[in-house]
Structure 1
């Protein structure tokens, strides 16, 4: 039976067929697209037609990284506990990625973690992962310091499990010969991943400067570890191999530093995607068409899709020309548009 006959039978069954052929175009369009005509005509903040997740089933899910609000959080203008509700109510995003810096002393505080979990559960928001910094270098040449760094992350593995996350993000940092750092980092990651396995938590590494921003180097570390719950978190930015030194260890000072040596982002993402258990959609600035000006989102997302990835892509706005809120909105709009074209 033809598709046309199927549609006619459907319309006849619901009693609409006798209403005349004049309404068929709009009804059939809605049946085909799963979206009302009014929704299809909505536009985003740049004036482009707004493509929503209801029009096309995207091949990935969207989450929001807490670092997008790091300025407000560090300035005390935003409470960490309010993050999940803001994600849902202001941006219609129902999955969040935490940064441990904003609840650094609460990893073992079950009352506090319980409040975080309750706020998510009560509002239908999923906790995806915890990005962990400041717990020591996994590739430290000093064995004692390296083992301490591994143990420092145990509490975050336990916190991630409690919150319902699937992973913690760690850094594979270390000073010295790249080969020696790779060996040390692989040993640390294997030990931490073994602990993570017992808690059903993945240990994932982001390209986060230095050796880790070399896609070939980090993919080599992954191959050495060779554990199912140890993977990568490819970040669209962060492909700087060497950066100028900041005047101080503050986000503002780091933002003023310059990259002295880059690694090709498209090559790097392609090298890291086979091990990806998360993806970070870093963004900085946008033109009047709504496209990111420092990178080709369409090219990157095609790499992500071609790798067979279907998990969360976390919005992480880090620009200075828009408010944090507008930066998140622009990034989401771009991801929806690019995602729909690839799905």
Structure 2
């Protein structure tokens, strides 16, 4: 790569980075490096942590890998398809995104896929369409060098009290996606992301029935609300909550990654709403090691920049303590 190209990438990162400087966080460049301890994981950055900046036009998806490395010292990224929703088949766009990641020494880990239909809906035709809508993202993930896409295993909100129907439809939809993914060596992972997908017991039953090495889970520490007020999938008020620690323990045997959701921190740098040491102990005791834990800050008490840094520091500290 020529010097002008390198300078372009550097300037892009600095422009998107704002006033927060790398020097303000000692040891930042060590993020994502492998530990030699028994409990080993790498750190990635979930793009959703910067959703306000991207939706607001302050950061472009193409620059996300550059910013992850230059600003946060994180050498692996998890994309969100909402930020390049019309680009799944745009080879020129994907080539540029891959180039910027590769040039920055950043690994593309996965693509989080939303708004492509209900993979666990009981209507056969609608479910088939949703499954086929996801194929292009599996292809895009393969091109970018990812190991997986993350999907939502949603059914009709009106029918989500039909557990057996959801499990049956979800097993069919995920099985077909895993079969397509296997042809491209891309795993299809399900996040606990609301509704019945946040009931870890039901989701693990789907995993057992699918029984594919290309299907798995992405346990998210903060998404165990099964039902919200007024039966809405999204919102602030949770009417029925699955036990977070029980849920993580149940999902870890199928995990192909972990999402470290954070909201707020105390003065000692601990997540104030979740017992992170307990959560990472569960991860360690599951035998899972060596993969990526994704930083996903979703709070309001800190800026996105500082929330990402606080989450990264917490993960690094606990990796050392639990190792």
In the superposition, the TM-score normalised over structure 2's length comes to 0.86
The answer as to whether partners of 1:57 and 1:340 remain within 8 angstroms in 2 is no
1:44 is displaced (CA, Å) by 8.9
The alpha-carbon distance between structure 1 residues 284 and 246, as it changes in their structure 2 partners (threshold 3 A), is farther
The answer as to whether partners of 2:224 and 2:243 remain within 8 angstroms in 1 is yes
Greater gyration radius: 1
Question: Could you say which residue in structure 2 is the equivalent of 1:124?
Answer: 105
The answer as to whether partners of 1:87 and 1:94 remain within 8 angstroms in 2 is yes
1:67 is displaced (CA, Å) by 0.2
3-state secondary structure, aligned to 2:85? helix
The answer as to whether partners of 2:196 and 2:203 remain within 8 angstroms in 1 is yes
Alpha-carbon displacement from aligned partner over 1:264-302 (angstroms, at most 9, x marks no partner): 000000000000001000000000010001101111111
Q: Does 1:180 pair with 2:156?
A: no
- Give the paired residue count: 293
Q: Does 1:78 pair with 2:59?
A: yes
Question: Could you say which residue in structure 2 is the equivalent of 1:316?
Answer: 296
The alpha-carbon distance between structure 1 residues 183 and 275, as it changes in their structure 2 partners (threshold 3 A), is same
The alpha-carbon distance between structure 1 residues 294 and 131, as it changes in their structure 2 partners (threshold 3 A), is same
Match of 1:202 among 183, 187, 191: 187
Question: Could you say which residue in structure 2 is the equivalent of 1:6?
Answer: none
Question: Could you say which residue in structure 1 is the equivalent of 2:146?
Answer: 165
| Structure 1 runs, 4 residues or longer, greater than 3 Å off | 49-58
Q: What is the root-mean-square deviation in Å for CA atoms of aligned residues?
A: 2.2
Match of 1:110 among 91, 105, 113: 91
3-state secondary structure, aligned to 1:261? strand
Structure 1 spans left out of the alignment, 5+ residues: 1-42
In the superposition, the TM-score normalised over structure 1's length comes to 0.82
Question: Could you say which residue in structure 2 is the equivalent of 1:25?
Answer: none
3-state secondary structure, aligned to 1:97? strand
Question: Could you say which residue in structure 1 is the equivalent of 2:45?
Answer: 64
Structure 2 spans left out of the alignment, 5+ residues: 1-22
Moved more, 54-63 or 97-106: 54-63
Question: Could you say which residue in structure 1 is the equivalent of 2:205?
Answer: 220
Q: Does 1:95 pair with 2:60?
A: no
Question: Could you say which residue in structure 2 is the equivalent of 1:39?
Answer: none
1:74 is displaced (CA, Å) by 1.1
